[in-house]
A and B are shown apart, each in its own frame.
Chain A
């Protein structure tokens, strides 16, 4: 079956629990874009959503830091303050991605016991289609150097598409990653909005493959370490023109939502 939807979303927790430091109107505009994605996913009638996310040192601490991982359990749970999520996992697809990925010489880690990170449940909180569907959490290391190179992310995404194209399920792909932000650093209040806008122009021009030539240093400098999740998705969708659903830079975060036409 074809991939039936491909989107990229932000997941910053300030969208779920808004501190007083955040502009309420901006947060609501991002929620409106999430609602568009929810509608898009509902119309695409997926059997499963593969979420490509970067773990925020939640499932994986320094006990093990995989470059790429597949969660292959029955379900996965995560907690954030008063929020408590348990989501069913599409185990047959997770297992196929793992086995076929290893078969294609991507040395994937897998787990059946991880705490779900907010990179996964924040966008799903707002965009889970109706009826609800299971997920497959796909991990890309974004925060704990050395992270995988953009080239490798792109290659993994391309292999992922081959694997999915041979499967019977209707799959929605979601990359979860914020554009420019620098949490915990002295650049926190200065996101690189110009870099983000230039990148969005590249994507809307259908030149996503260029992201494979970025370096890890460039991503770190631009506050875009999480773009690795988008780059992985770009490997799966190829050079098709992106549609920007929203770009709402806050004082610390480039909130962007993007979709790609995926019919082949």
Chain B
């Protein structure tokens, strides 16, 4: 189905999904990523296309490369939590 929102993550996109997962779920990794993105990306076996899409953090490109949409969403939110902590209200 071409119109489904959440699809089976293609195996070729595993490194990209792994990188998004670590941004989302590994506090030490997201801190390293926020500080030196290129060095952090070196820790995951990303190809040039995935690296470029991550640099721009363009959702449609990332998803077209096989990134899980939810991981793109939450990795983006975590990066924002890291870079702009004052823009959130904490309950």
Q: A186-B60, A220-B4 are in contact. Are A144 and B27 (CB under 8 A)?
A: no
B68 touches A61 (CB 8 A): no
**Interface bracket on B:** 35 or more
* Contacting pair A79 B27 (CB below 8 A): yes
Task: For B1, list chain A residues within 8 Å (CB).
Answer: 217
Flag the segment in A9-17, A42-50, A67-75 that touches B: A9-17
* Known contacts A146-B8, A184-B63; is-contact A57 B91 (Cβ 8 Å): no
In the assembly, what is the distance between CA of A100 and CA of B9, in Å?
Answer: 32
Give A221 Cβ to nearest chain B Cβ, in Å.
Answer: 8
Q: What chain A residues lie within 8 Å of B9 (beta carbons)?
A: 62, 144
Given A182-B5, A184-B63, A223-B5 in contact, is the A17-B70 Cβ separation under 8 Å?
Answer: no
Interface of B (DSSP majority class) = helix
Contacts of B89 in A (CB 8 A): 17-18, 24
Closest chain A residue, CB of each to CB of B7: A145
B69 and A18 form a contact (CB under 8 A): no
**Residue of A with least CB distance to B59:** A184
In the complex with contacts A15-B91, A19-B87, A56-B70, A185-B5 CB distance below 8 A: yes
Chain B 15-56: CB-based contact to A (< 8 A → 1; otherwise 0)? 001100100110100000000000000000000000000000
Nearest B residue to A19 via CB reads: B88
In the complex, which of the residues A13, A20, A57, A144 has the most CB atoms of chain B within 10 Å of its own CB atom? A57
Q: Which residue of B lies closest to A222 (CB)?
A: B5
Cβ distance A65 to chain B, nearest Cβ, rounded Å: 9
Say whether B80 contacts A57, CB under 8 Å: no
- Residue numbers of B with Cβ under 8 A of A are 1, 3-9, 14, 17-18, 21, 24-25, 27, 59-60, 63, 68-74, 77-78, 80-81, 85, 87-91
- Residues of A at the B interface (CB closer than 8 Å) are 13, 15-20, 24, 27, 31, 56-58, 61-62, 79, 81-82, 115, 125-126, 143-146, 182-188, 217, 220-221, 223, 225
